[in-house]
Amino acid sequence: MSGWRPFLALVGKDLVVERRTHQALATMFVFSLLVLVILSFAFELRVGNAQQVAPGALWVALAFAAVLGLNRSLAQEREDGCLEGLMLAPMERSTIYLAKAASNLLFLVATQAIVLPVFSVLLGVDVLRADLALVLFLGALGLAAAGTLVATMAAQTRAREVLLPVLLLPLSVPLLIAGAKATAGVLDGGGLAGVSGWLRLLAGFDVAWAAASYLISATILEE
Amino acid sequence: MRAREWAALALPGTSAVLMLAAIEAALVLAPTERVMGPLQRIFYFHLSDAIAAFAAFVVAFGASVAYLARGERRWDALAVSAVEVGELFSTLVLLTGMLWARMAWNTWWTWDPRLTTMLVLWLLYAGYLMLRASLEDEARRARYAAVLAVLGFLDVPIVFMAIRWWRTIHPVLFDASGAHMEPAMLAAVVVSLLAFIGLLATLLVARVRLELLSGDVDELHRRLL
């Protein structure tokens, strides 16, 4: 097998699993909502204007939901030696990485699509905008690219789920800063042109991590 | 003592002498700074410590690349040793920086690019050590750790750039036009820098030796059982 078929088969497998279990999207959605509610309680006492905390709340919720989804996605491969099975299949090891990253990206974007309307209602800030969608997509792309690689490593350790946030969040600092800053700029009415520097940083992070992870994924998936 | 034992003492001995000289140079010989007074003397150790920490992480990066390329155990031993020693030095950088900041800026902490990058680095390499601690298989531990060290190190410039776009209040002492300080102060900087690099080398040599020995002990243990 070569080309797109194994890749599509692997992504399809993750979608079928999700359709039958509804685990990833449901947990990620409820969890992002919980983060938002908790942040609202935490900030309510001091911050009068929800607009001020909206970008931060949005990105904290997305980053933590991503950690949750990534852990699930890779934990599922560890069960019943699924990953070994995939590694035995006649295809490039990096295809496994690409497919997992692609399905993680799909789940992240789907979560954002469900969460954003609720955010708009609860925070009273209109976050359902095309320009914001681009910022959020670039963020999801970076989290999926870096997160899938780190989660693959974390899933093989004794500490398992605990390790992913500890490893991924420091690495994602540029993404979180750029994402929150770009979101704030867009919400303040500056448009995408006003935050082009942050968008370039986001895109650069995505490209660098996607390329590096793709190249190095075969090293992680040895044996 | 035989020649080899004397040779083993040369590096720690030189470092110890240099460290004493650095203390003398920083606390006694260097002139007192006009604005900050004696307080500024912590700077000699703070700067040298920061450079030693970065040097350690550069060594860890190089050793990790070498491990990924060659797969030899000694490179992994060097990488983990450098990260541990670098983590120690960066802890000291953060602590001396906080002490200084409390007196100079009237705050223990500020989200300045350099401070924040150092903290993120510290967290990143803490993650590295946690990753190692939770992997039992030696080959896999070495490989994953090397991957994380390489990617993490390459991530650092992006982290710094991202944070830099906030404003900075950290002073810049060296730029294209040279060093902005008295000759006696510069001498104290050089001596304390040498002392910290010496300390770094001493700790690294000892730690690598320990790592290799403990690997040997594990190997013997496995063969006996």
The answer to whether A50 faces chain B, any CB pair under 8 Å, is no
Give the C-alpha separation, B144 to B150, whole Å.
Answer: 10
What backbone phi and psi angles, to 5 degrees, belong to B22? -65, -40
pLDDT confidence band for A124 (50 / 70 / 90): confident
pLDDT for B33 beyond 70: yes
**Lowest-confidence segment of A93-107, B162-176, B209-223 by average pLDDT:** B162-176
pTM comes to 0.86
Residues of A in contact with B140 (CB under 8 A): 156, 223
Interface of A with B in 125-154 (CB under 8 A): 149-150, 153-154
Return all residues near B18 (Cβ < 8 A) that are at least 6 apart: B191, B194, B195, B198
Q: CA of A52: how far to CAs of A44, A77, A181, in Å?
A: 11, 40, 12
The answer to whether B144 faces chain A, any CB pair under 8 Å, is yes
CA-based R_g, chain B, Å: 20
Are residues A73 and A151 in contact, defined by beta-carbon separation less than 8 angstroms?
A: yes
Q: Return the SS3 of A173.
A: helix
What backbone phi and psi angles, to 5 degrees, belong to B21? -60, -40
pLDDT at res. B180: 66
- Which DSSP state fits B179? E
Q: CA of A5: how far to CAs of A1, A15, A31, A37, A101, in Å?
A: 7, 15, 34, 42, 16
Percent of chain A with pLDDT over 90: 39
The pLDDT of A128-153, averaged and rounded, is: 92
Q: Return the SS3 of B33.
A: strand
pLDDT for B151 beyond 80: yes
pLDDT for A164 beyond 90: yes
Give the C-alpha separation, A99 to A116, whole Å.
Answer: 26
pLDDT at res. B129: 95
Domain boundaries, chain B: 37-224
Give the C-alpha separation, B129 to B150, whole Å.
Answer: 14
Mean pLDDT of chain B: 86
Give the C-alpha separation, B41 to A205, whole Å.
Answer: 39
Q: CA of B215: how far to CAs of B53, B125, B130, B158, B220, in Å?
A: 25, 22, 19, 35, 9
Return all residues near A216 (Cβ < 8 A) that are at least 6 apart: A149, B147, B150, B151
pLDDT digits (tens, 9 = 90+) for B40-73: 888 888 989 999 999 999 999 999 999 999 989 9
Q: Return the SS3 of A2.
A: coil
pLDDT at res. A46: 62
pLDDT at res. B175: 58
H-state helical runs in chain B: 3-24, 42-70, 73-104, 113-133, 138-164, 183-224
Of the candidates B68, B134, B158, the beta carbon closest to that of A205 is on B158
**Could A173 and B159 be called an inter-chain contact, meaning their C-beta atoms sit closer than 8 Å?**
yes
- The nearest CA of chain A is from the CA of B119 a distance in Å of 9
pLDDT at res. B171: 61
The answer to whether A173 faces chain B, any CB pair under 8 Å, is yes
The pLDDT of B156-185, averaged and rounded, is: 68
Are residues A69 and A27 in contact, defined by beta-carbon separation less than 8 angstroms?
A: yes
pLDDT at res. B142: 93
pLDDT at res. B7: 77
Give the C-alpha separation, B93 to B95, whole Å.
Answer: 5
**Lowest-confidence segment of A6-10, A22-26, A29-33, A187-191 by average pLDDT:** A187-191
Q: CA of B135: how far to CAs of A154, B138, B167, in Å?
A: 9, 8, 40
The pLDDT of B66-87, averaged and rounded, is: 94
pLDDT for A221 beyond 60: yes
Query: Which has more pLDDT, A133 or A89?
Result: A133
- The nearest CA of chain B is from the CA of A4 a distance in Å of 27
Find tokens 């590694």 and name the residue.
A87
- The nearest CA of chain B is from the CA of A143 a distance in Å of 14
Give the C-alpha separation, B36 to A178, whole Å.
Answer: 36
Residues of B in contact with A222 (CB under 8 A): 143
pLDDT for A2 beyond 90: no
Of the candidates B120, B143, B154, the beta carbon closest to that of A222 is on B143
The answer to whether B147 faces chain A, any CB pair under 8 Å, is yes
Query: Is residue A66 left, alpha or beta, with left meaning phi > 0 and alpha meaning psi from -120 to 50?
Result: alpha
pLDDT digits (tens, 9 = 90+) for A35-86: 988 887 877 656 667 777 888 888 999 999 999 999 988 888 888 788 888 8
Count the helices and strands in chain A (H runs, E runs).
9, 0
Of the candidates A171, A177, A201, the beta carbon closest to that of B155 is on A171
pLDDT at res. A184: 87
Nearest residue in B to A202, CA atom: B162
pLDDT for A1 beyond 60: no
Nearest to B25 by CA among B224, B183, B189: B189
pLDDT confidence band for B38 (50 / 70 / 90): confident
Of the candidates B68, B124, B154, the beta carbon closest to that of A170 is on B124
pLDDT digits (tens, 9 = 90+) for A177-186: 899 889 988 8
Q: Return the SS3 of B174.
A: strand
pLDDT at res. A130: 84
**Could B123 and A170 be called an inter-chain contact, meaning their C-beta atoms sit closer than 8 Å?**
yes
Residues of B in contact with A167 (CB under 8 A): 127, 130-131, 148
Residues of B in contact with A169 (CB under 8 A): 123
